[in-house]
Structure 1
């Protein structure tokens, strides 16, 4: 089993997690995914790629010389987390995590996802 598969399976062990994917934001393609149920993770990967690209364009226009660590999207019953891969071997990638808003601890989930991102070897 690859490091990507192990990382994605570990993502589902985060309290409240229901889906996770590793996404290439240049192409919008998912490189791996777990969970999801009725949520189409291919559609989510492509849509969240648009979110990342829009934020990067905005930061460039503002002259911000910083990188994105993560993006949180809070819905009525879910939290969607986009964690940019910071390592040089993961340029252009992000981890996408879907959490049940009523079961998850956001601070702990962010910490756990950060740890998993750092351990990911792509």
Structure 2
């Protein structure tokens, strides 16, 4: 089982094109851990902003009476992919992994596969 630091390092090293990764509590909007980022990519600000995305989607699902769960939320920008993966196991309720990828170097299918693996190994 991996802790937060190990999981974030794994994401940075095993997913091609990763620019930054965070583990986020969508109840508070706070990042519990971050790795990567840059002066133009503040992962703490992104964590708070993407908390609103997750909450909005959960509200929409509730209003539509959808009896399902969110696996991933993908946001595509001109040069980047932002991938949000809600955690489901081992105390991960209320948390998501947030991954920022370089759109030219990343393979979305492989990124989703690796993020699913990292989630399965993460123990919070």
Sort the TM-score into its range (normalised by shorter chain): over 0.9
Unaligned runs of 5+ in 1: none
Count of aligned residue pairs for this structure pair = 121
Query: In 2, distance between residues paired with 1:41 and 1:109?
Result: 18
1:75 aligns with 77
Q: Give the match for residue 111 of structure 2.
A: 109
Tell me how far 1:88 sits from its aligned partner. Answer: 4.3
CA RMSD between the two structures: 0.9
* Alpha-carbon distance in structure 2 between the residues aligned to 1:88 and 1:68: 17
2: distance between equivalents of 1:42 and 1:20? 10
Report the 3-state secondary structure (helix = DSSP H, G, I; strand = E; otherwise coil) of the residue aligned with 2:63. helix
Q: Measure how far apart 1:86 and its partner are.
A: 1.1
8 Å CA contact 2:12–2:21 kept in 1: the answer is yes
- Alpha-carbon displacement from aligned partner over 1:29-58 (angstroms, at most 9, x marks no partner): 000000001211111000000000000000
* Aligned mate of 1:94, from 76, 93, 96: 96
Does residue 54 of the first structure (1) align with residue 56 of the second (2)?
yes
Partner of 1:17: 18
4+ residue runs of structure 1 moved beyond 3 angstroms?
none
CA deviations on 1:14-36 (whole Å, 9 max, x unpaired) are 10001000000000000000000
Q: Return the alpha-carbon distance in structure 2 between the equivalents of residues 50 and 115 of structure 1.
A: 25
Contact map agreement 2:90 2:123 (CA 8 A) in 1: no
Show the counterpart of 1:33. 34
